[in-house]
Structure 1
């Protein structure tokens, strides 16, 4: 049989799937048992992780998760009691961002490694203080940016880092999903729903793809459609400038029928793109001088993204290193996000890092 083209073989070896530690198998506690934690616990159960404590101020929420996923886990309504359990080494904190920092602080002071739900903080200075505290306490602090391990995002990122398509010139994302499902929920009261709570996944993807490159300016805008029935603007876009490259993020979150998602990374030796009607139907194409390659990838964002975030933290603990989604790295994503929100309000370009709090 003829051998594969060299590049096709290389593209088939891209390490995009979540990793698990080789031997490290700690006891994990979950603080906050809201709706999103169904995906956390599905991923942890399927990966064989040991969740032994579940905590929520509403005991019924914790009991529901215990019965569905970890029947032997202990249930608490006060997270401080969880932190007194000596066998708990890792705490997954999933509460809302306005009340999360003091919980994370207590976890770090108790010597627990922490996986924080996203968005990490509302104030970059507080985020830096928590990162400093983690270092001082000798533990790791990571952020649950689960989109990093969505299979198509993870694959595209790893190809970009491999150098197989050359030096990155552009990253362009278009997200055309209906987000009006938030009507009647607490999310409807998030003024910057699209550029903050939703788009943080794409700002974080961009940060991960661009690596050490420093963004110079962000220009963003938002708008409401003429027919939307919820309060937050459902249209948003951002242009991010780098010294020798650029990125665009476009969000059409009022798409009552259908949906479309596209991502493209262009490089000096080719490009890679992904597109599909939903997260489970992404088609990837890599275009180089040798032709077009269409690799088949495995998995879906939910729940594989949650497997990836916890798995990377556990591997980092085992390997005595910082996780790739560590708090300081995520602050760079939030710098982009906060700058975009500020720009959408001022209608002027904003330098990332100059806006310290969510406006």
Structure 2
């Protein structure tokens, strides 16, 4: 059985062949760049030529911590650097579309943050601009590359649990949003900026749903303006379903972050260790029960890497392979429009899709 698990590990390993590497510049020097993007890129041996942030002191501090030799003083300086082929944009969501437009004019390939755009129409416009310029744009939906999720997907694709028929995420945690003032003030919160990860991961395993239902709420007295509790159901062709039950207002300290995939011949279950005492976290776990192999009960897969920082290498690796080989990146922006559309469909259900239970029965 060890050799079967080793085969899964080989399948999900993130690497970038030397011939695929390109000069990279990073726009944005916030915490996620500091603790995730740059450590992951360094681990893959990628060349980050420089960092730019409107706060030049912050950019300089981040560059120094990661041994990056250049701090750009302006956006124009970034985009005029002919040694930079790829720009990694890591800024607040409303600033991203204009940066994408400018970078496309400068003929740079792009890795963008999620959500890719505020709405599908804007996202489609940006993708069309990139396509017309012959440029590649991918989205940093890195949960797909978290080792536990990636190994689970590889097991499904290998047929270990037969045909996947159901998937769920159960996340019951306490999230302090105060580190991101703009998130605290956002009227759309949980699905747009958190569950978007789970939705993209579900799409990577089950494909695209045909209908959705969702409800959202807030805890009385919570700090954030937007929704922090959601329950969503995704309906696929046939009998396949997915459910997300997410609560960021756990007051009891008994936090959990679990996922499960059920199939016709087995099941897979795991935990997202990062979300236990975020951002400290703990290792992920993953187990598979298979009638196909078969396993003797639940078999543990040895997860060795964490979502932060290592999964952040995946979207960049996919983009670089796309540039070098023409193999479309798993999170190519055009495909990611479907994840964005799914997010907005869920908000549409929250706003308009409820059916009241009759009172006069």
TM-score, normalised with respect to structure 1: 0.89
C-alpha separation in 2, matches of 1:209 and 1:153: 9
1:133-164, Cα deviation, whole Å (9 max, x unpaired): 22221221000111111111111122222222
Structure 1, residues 249-283: CA drift from partner, whole Å, max 9, x if none?
11011124141111111112211111366353332
Q: Distance in 2 between matches of 1:24 and 1:229?
A: 45
1:334 is matched with which residue: 340, 345, 356? 340
Q: Quick one: distance in 2 between partners of 1:149 and 1:203? A: 14
The residue number in structure 1 matching 2:121 is: 125
Q: Distance in 2 between matches of 1:184 and 1:147?
A: 20
Q: How many residues align?
A: 340
Moved more, 228-237 or 162-171: 228-237
1:301 and 2:301 matched? no
Superposed CA deviations along residues 26-74 of structure 1, whole A, max 9, x for unmatched, are: 110011112211111111122221111211112112111111113412x
Q: Relative to structure 1, is the Cα distance of residues 280 and 183 closer, same or farther in structure 2, using a 3 angstrom cutoff? A: closer
SS at match of 2:20: coil
SS at match of 2:242: strand
Q: What secondary structure, in the 3-state scheme, does the structure 2 residue paired with 1:199 have?
A: helix
Per the TM alignment, residue 199 of structure 1 is displaced from its structure 2 partner at its CA by 0.8
Do 2:50 and 2:68's aligned partners in 1 also have CA atoms closer than 8 Å?
A: no
Partner of 1:60: 57
Corresponding residue number in structure 1 for 2:32: 36
1:282 and 2:284 aligned: yes
2:160–2:290 CA contact under 8 A, matched in 1: no
Structure 2 unaligned regions, length at least 5: 356-361
Choose which of 110, 113, 129 in structure 2 pairs with 1:114. Answer: 110
Distance of 1:227 and 1:31 partners within structure 2: 36
Tell me what 1:100 maps to.
Answer: 96
What's the RMSD between the two structures over aligned residues? 1.9
Q: What SS does the aligned partner of 1:304 have?
A: helix
Name the SS for the 1:13 alignment partner. helix
Q: CA deviation at 1:231?
A: 2.9
* Aligned twin of 1:86: 82
Q: Which moved more, 1:158-167 or 1:124-133?
A: 158-167
Q: Is the 8 A contact 1:180 1:254 kept in 2?
A: no
Larger deviation: 305-314 or 184-193? Answer: 184-193
Does the CA-based 8 Å contact 1:40-1:306 persist in structure 2?
Answer: yes
Confirm whether residue 69 of structure 1 aligns to residue 63 of structure 2.
no
Map of 1:140 onto structure 2: 136
User: What is aligned with 2:205?
Assistant: 209
Q: Equivalents in 2 of 1:130, 1:286: separation in Å? A: 40
Q: Deviations over 1:305-330 (max 9, x none)?
A: 11112122112222222111100111
Match of 2:243 in 1: 248
Q: Structure 1's 108 and 84: CA in aligned 2 closer, same or farther, altered over 3 A?
A: same
Secondary structure (helix, strand or coil) at the match of 2:157 reads helix
2:170–2:244 contact (8 Å) kept in structure 1 = yes
Pick aligned residue for 2:7 from 9, 13, 20: 13
1:142 & 1:348 partners in 2: Cα distance? 34
Deviation sequence 1:164-204 (CA, Å, 0-9, x none): 22222111111112113437722101122111111110111
Aligned residue number for residue 225 of structure 2? 231
Cα offset, 1:220, TM superposition: 0.4
- Choose which of 332, 347, 350 in structure 2 pairs with 1:344: 350
